[in-house]
């Protein structure tokens, strides 16, 4: 007898719990006024559902907590380092493993040693910290994502793919000025969309032909491998681990923030196939992060990473992770809230421009929606629109290309019942969307204004 398809469930039982903070609408209105209607200014103890980021917000497993207790905190040659190193080597096939305290430390370390002012680094889309770490060195960060990746409605299964034709002409035009090519898996700045194995193979072949190293920004490598398994027909029978290994085989190294698919609250690493860059990286690591066998982390963090990097490739976990994101995205679509399609791996992006056509870009529709999600439902999200991108260096306003609200989903933290409750709340907001109004900025810093700007409702 064949079994009927069943629901995809959380593939874990819960051992440690933390109460959900609950506030009334009236309390949240006061909190918002004090925070200048900026959700970065709200305390986490006043947030019921925190979808600000999936980074470092993971619930660790009993095995991870257990391993932390037996970690070896020796300054040099810690047993925990060798355990971590072995896991990364087995996962990636890269021999050289350099721990850092998080992803941006890995970026800063590698870029400051191996890029020069005037050079250019292409990627599908650079994440903010990657871009900023390149730009502060005078390096130009160039986005070469495929055309479908810029279309919110396209159902293309791999909207994180690099436009390989443009990459080739780019490398021809800038020959000698590209220290390496990058690809972000999954493409966070482009909506958490995956990159196909076919595309990684093509990018790898182009890089070999031009003799340019190819590096992965691989913090969501397991989610990307899972999407290849379920969306790229010829790989359906392969394991996520086997697919992940081929992704790493196609590149020369990777930069990883383990705060995502490492299933930890802090940690990161650089791993490289070739040893040529390693002595410089290790010397600089000692200067800025710590000795090469701990790299800015406690050994207990290395233990937690070693286990997380294995646990994340459990296919019951990956199936559940994808199902949860899809559940939220499809639920929003059912209540008339438009989102970026198809759902990505770690987050759902709501199209506030389409949801709130009455609010012009200069009155920040995505911020207005983010504020209302918090005011009415205690949900914290992140504006990715004209607050974040609408100001030129000369201070003038230009509307962002898109007005998005990102709901990033912490790993193993919220249950399906939580998402049902969130969807019921958002459905009510969607019903009264015509009554929502925009905001004005009343105070802002010179740079990165989204973190500290203060607003006033209009």
**Chain positions contacting ligand F0G, by CB under 6 A:** 53, 55, 102-104, 127, 129-130, 184, 188, 217, 219, 257, 259, 268, 408
Q: β-strand 379-380 against 49-50: which pairing, if any?
A: parallel
Q: Name the minimum Å distance from CB 193 to ligand F0G.
A: 12
Cβ distance to ligand F0G smaller for residue 306 or 356 = 306
Instruction: State the Cα–Cα distance between residues 371 and 357, nearest whole angstrom.
Output: 17
| Coil vs helix vs strand at 215 | strand
Find the Cα–Cα–Cα–Cα dihedral 109, 111, 114, 117, rounded to 10°.
-130
Q: Name the minimum Å distance from CB 335 to ligand F0G.
A: 25
Cβ distance to ligand F0G smaller for residue 191 or 438 = 191
Cβ distance to ligand F0G smaller for residue 264 or 359 = 264
Q: Name the minimum Å distance from CB 73 to ligand F0G.
A: 22
CB 290 within 8 A of CB 296: yes
Cβ distance to ligand F0G smaller for residue 188 or 204 = 188
Q: What is the DSSP string of 385-454?
A: SHHHH-B-TTS-B---S--EEEEE--TT-S-HHHHHHHHHHHHHHHHTGGG---EEEEE--SS-HHHH-E
Tokens of 6: 């069943």
Cβ distance to ligand F0G smaller for residue 270 or 429 = 270
Cβ distance to ligand F0G smaller for residue 210 or 227 = 227
Cβ distance to ligand F0G smaller for residue 252 or 261 = 261
Q: Name the minimum Å distance from CB 36 to ligand F0G.
A: 21
CB 256 within 8 A of CB 106: yes
Position of minimal CB gap to ligand F0G? 103
Q: Name the minimum Å distance from CB 305 to ligand F0G.
A: 12
Q: What is the DSSP string of 12-58?
A: S--SS--PPP---HHHHHHHHHHTTT-GGGS-GGG-SEE-S-SSS-P
Q: Name the minimum Å distance from CB 217 to ligand F0G.
A: 5
Tokens of 341: 């399609």
Q: Name the minimum Å distance from CB 26 to ligand F0G.
A: 30
Find the Cα–Cα–Cα–Cα dihedral 99, 103, 106, 110, rounded to 10°.
150
Cβ distance to ligand F0G smaller for residue 259 or 438 = 259
Instruction: State the Cα–Cα distance between residues 368 and 357, nearest whole angstrom.
Output: 12
Q: Name the minimum Å distance from CB 223 to ligand F0G.
A: 11
Radius of gyration of the chain (CA): 22
């Amino acid at each position: 007898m064949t079994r009927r398809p069943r629901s995809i469930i959380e593939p874990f039982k819960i051992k440690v719990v933390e109460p959900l903070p609950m506030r009334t609408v009236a309390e949240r209105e006061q909190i918002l006024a004090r925070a200048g209607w900026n959700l970065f200014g709200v305390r986490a103890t006043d947030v019921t559902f925190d979808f600000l980021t999936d980074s470092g917000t993971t619930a660790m497993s009993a095995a991870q907590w257990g391993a932390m207790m037996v970690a070896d905190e020796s300054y040099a040659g810690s047993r925990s380092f060798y355990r971590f190193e072995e896991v990364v080597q087995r996962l990636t096939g890269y021999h050289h493993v350099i721990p850092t305290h998080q992803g941006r430390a890995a970026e800063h370390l590698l870029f400051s040693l191996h890029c020069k002012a005037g050079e250019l680094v292409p990627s599908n889309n650079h994440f903010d910290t990657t871009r900023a770490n390149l730009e502060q060195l005078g390096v130009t960060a160039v986005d070469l994502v495929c055309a479908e990746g810029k279309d919110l409605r396209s159902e293309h299964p791999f909207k994180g793919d690099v436009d390989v034709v443009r990459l080739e002409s780019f490398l021809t035009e800038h020959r000698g000025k590209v220290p390496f090519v990058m690809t972000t898996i999954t493409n966070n700045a482009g909506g958490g969309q995956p990159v196909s194995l076919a595309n990684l193979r093509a990018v790898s072949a182009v890089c070999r032909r031009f003799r340019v190293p190819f590096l992965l920004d691989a913090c969501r490598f397991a989610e990307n491998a899972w999407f290849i398994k379920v969306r790229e027909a010829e790989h359906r029978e392969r394991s996520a681990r086997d697919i992940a290994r081929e992704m790493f085989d196609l590149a020369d190294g990777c930069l990883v923030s383990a705060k995502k698919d490492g299933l930890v609250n802090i940690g990161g690493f650089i791993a490289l196939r070739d040893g040529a860059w390693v002595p410089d990286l290790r010397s600089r690591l000692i200067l800025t992060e710590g000795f090469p066998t701990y790299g800015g982390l406690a050994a207990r963090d290395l233990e937690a990473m070693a286990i997380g990097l294995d646990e994340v490739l459990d296919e019951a976990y990956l199936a559940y992770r994808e199902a949860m994101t899809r559940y939220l995205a499809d639920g929003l679509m059912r209540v008339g809230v438009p989102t970026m399609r198809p759902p990505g791996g770690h987050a759902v992006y709501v199209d506030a421009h389409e949801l709130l056509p009455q609010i012009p870009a200069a009155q920040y529709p995505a911020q207005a929606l983010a504020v209302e999600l918090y005011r009415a439902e205690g949900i914290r999200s992140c504006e990715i629109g004209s607050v974040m991108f609408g100001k030129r260096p000369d201070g003038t306003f230009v509307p962002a290309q898109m007005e998005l609200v990102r709901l990033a989903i912490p790993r193993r933290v919220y249950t399906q019942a939580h998402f049902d409750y969130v969807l019921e709340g958002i459905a009510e907001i969607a019903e009264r969307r015509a009554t929502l109004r925009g905001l004005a900025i009343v105070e802002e810093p010179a740079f990165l204004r989204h973190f500290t700007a203060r607003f006033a409702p209009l």
